Amino acid sequence: MNWLLVVAGAMVGAPLRYLTDRAIQSRHDSVFPWGTFAVNATGCLVLGLVSGAAGPHLQLLLGTGLCGALTTYSTFSYETLRLAETGAGLYALANVGASLIAGLGAAYVGVELAQAV
């Protein structure tokens, strides 16, 4: 039963990541990976909320399934390496720093919001 919750969440999270990434990136004329940055920060916020307030079944559905498929460390790593390889080293460093700060900050805000409710 638990694995079905994870699968159901992932079935929503994976296409949501792709569509959100494409929609955001198409609006920016920059080499910075805004789409991946946005889905990762959003996923951290949602995971913080879920971790702070949800029961185990909702954590499987939204935390493991949805957020697991929505966020992407592999794409973040690949895009950062591509930025560095193509001479956009400052963008690569900005991506690493901003992603770390935004991700941790969003998770913290999510947990705090969940505990306040």
For position 12, what pLDDT does the model report? 97
For position 80, what pLDDT does the model report? 98
For position 1, what pLDDT does the model report? 86
For position 108, what pLDDT does the model report? 98
Structure tokens at 14: 């994976």
**Taking the alpha carbons of 110, 60, 16, 89 in that order, is the dihedral positive or negative?**
positive
For position 54, what pLDDT does the model report? 82
Structure tokens at 79: 């895009």
Write down the pTM of the prediction. 0.92
Of 37, 46, 47, 23, the C-alpha closest to 72 is 37
Structure tokens at 67: 């957020």
Binned average pLDDT, 10 residues per bin, the chain of 117 residues:
96 97 95 97 97 91 96 96 98 98 98 94
Give the burial class of 56: count Cβ atoms within 10 A of its Cβ; 0-12 exposed, 13-18 middle, 19 or more buried: exposed
